[in-house]
Structure 1
Amino acid sequence: MLLALDIGNSNIVIGASSNGEWKYQWRIQTDTDKTADEYAVLFNSLFSEFELTFDRFSRIIISSVVPQLTQIISEVFEEKSDTKALILDGEVDTGLKIKRLNRKSVGADLIADAVGAYALFEDDCIVVDFGTATTVMVVQTPGELIGGSICAGLKVTIDALVGETAQLSQIPLEPPKQVIGGSTMEAMQSGLVLGHLCMIEGLIDRMRKRMGGAAKVIATGGLSEKIAEHTDYFDVIDPMLTLDGLRLIMERQDEK
């Protein structure tokens, strides 16, 4: 069984796959203060709910944008499962070309997203990942990640604004009934949620124009399904895209 982990700044998304199908999925909060022993206990608790043990995982792949956790978590699995995890970075053979970017600076999650998206469309495509940061990345035929945009994520922006606004303790993560907000709360929802979406739509328009065609767009990340309800710009919404990319990358290693 394959275990894939995507370690993000806010959450760690975990999936267990067998025969190309995701059998089990988990999402936990990223905590850089946890020790290896604490993570071992946490993972054991998650797995035991489905009568799984560490030694069920013969292949493990990790993408991480949190360096201080990469080694800790990989060592947990190496010790408990006796399987060395593949740590995804720009040097791993993914089948995806990265010529115009600094391989060492490209986020592993963005690489996995790009691999998953290009495998799906097999053509020019744009990947929008709604995470701690909102990223809009471009993959061109014949499978090259050429770059994109990285923006402050929606939750980060809301938290920053609420922190400076004493009268508002929480802003619902949804647009108001109309774009012209009739109250301070609705006006902030309009500016934050609809404004964020307008930014993404504008970037997609500009990227498509730059690419000279109507590239397909796929949305992923924790907020993708909620945001997708309010736009018709996304051809596909797939919260599992990053893990799918990791699975495809691992399968490529197995074929060598």
Structure 2
Amino acid sequence: MLLALDIGNSNIVIGASENGEWKYQWRIQTDDSKTADEYGVLFHSLFNEVGIGYKQLQRIIISSVVPQLTQTIEEVFKKRVHIDPLILANDVNTGITVSTESPHSVGADLLADAVGAYELFKGDCIVVDFGTATTVMAVRDPGELIGGSICAGLKVTIDALVGKAAQLSQIPLEPPQNVIGNNTIKAMQSGMVLGHLCMIEGLIDRMNQQFESENPKVVATGGLSEKVGPYTDYFDVIDPMLTLDGLRLIMDRQ
């Protein structure tokens, strides 16, 4: 059984796969104050609920943008499974080329996204990841990550506004029926949710101009992709498992 973990700033997404199929998925809150033993107990509880034991894990791959937590999670599996997890980095054979000015600064999650997106479309594509940050990354045929945009995530943006404005409160993460909001909540939804989607649409339009092919395919992933993705027609696919799929594909190459 393959275990893939995507450690993000807000959440850790975990998937257990057999024969190329995801059998189980979990999403837990990122907490870098927890020790390896505490995470070991937490993982044991999650696995035990679905009848998985540590000994069933044969391969483990980790993508992380939280360096201080990477070693902690790695220690869990070294201690309990006696397996050295593969830590995704730029020196790992991913099957794609990173053609940015600083390839070693590209986040592991973005590498996994690019691998998953290119496998999905087999051609020019754009992957939008709705996480703590919203990233819009461009992948060119024949599997070349050429760069992209990194923006403040939707929830981060809303939290920042609410935190600085005494008379504004949290809002449902969905757009209003009309762009002209006729109360404070609807006006915030218009500005925050619709505004965020408009930003993404604008970035996609501008990126399209840099591709030789017309209208590259676009996939949305990340924790909020299923919630806000349906409110735009720019996405050809909405796949919250894309990052884990990329990790699985990378592990299969080793």
TM-score, normalised by the number of residues in structure 2 = 0.98
Deviation at 1:50, TM superposition (A): 1.0
CA contact (8 A) 1:133 1:150 kept: yes
The aligned counterpart of 2:184 is 184
The aligned counterpart of 1:251 is 252
Deviation at 1:183, TM superposition (A): 1.0
Aligned residue for 2:135, secondary structure, equals: strand
The aligned counterpart of 1:139 is 139
The aligned counterpart of 2:228 is 227
Aligned residue for 1:204, secondary structure, equals: helix
State how 1:25-40 maps to structure 2 within 5 Å. Answer: 25-40=25-40
CA offsets, 1:67-107, max 9 Å, x none?
Answer: 00000001101110111100001110111001334222100
The aligned counterpart of 1:67 is 67
Deviation at 1:169, TM superposition (A): 2.9
The aligned counterpart of 1:200 is 200
CA contact (8 A) 1:91 1:103 kept: no
Distance 1:182 1:9 in 2: 35
The aligned counterpart of 1:174 is 174
CA contact (8 A) 1:115 1:248 kept: yes
> Which runs of 5 or more structure 1 residues have no equivalent in the other structure?
none
Aligned residue for 2:243, secondary structure, equals: helix
TM-score, normalised by the number of residues in structure 1 = 0.97
Once structures 1 and 2 are overlaid, which stretch shifts more, 147-156 or 100-109? 100-109
CA contact (8 A) 2:173 2:193 kept: yes
Distance 1:149 1:205 in 2: 13
Distance 1:156 1:73 in 2: 25
**Where do 4+ consecutive residues of structure 1 move more than 4 Å?**
none
Aligned residue for 1:210, secondary structure, equals: coil
> Which amino acid in 2 is paired with 1:161?
L
Number of aligned residues: 253
CA contact (8 A) 1:55 1:82 kept: no
> Which runs of 5 or more structure 2 residues have no equivalent in the other structure?
none
> Which amino acid in 2 is paired with 1:245?
G
The aligned counterpart of 2:53 is 53
Distance 2:78 2:206 in 1: 44
The aligned counterpart of 2:240 is 239
The aligned counterpart of 2:162 is 162
> Which amino acid in 1 is paired with 2:26?
W
Deviation at 1:185, TM superposition (A): 1.5
CA offsets, 1:19-52, max 9 Å, x none?
Answer: 0000010000000111111101100110110121
CA RMSD of aligned residues (A): 0.8
CA contact (8 A) 2:99 2:147 kept: no
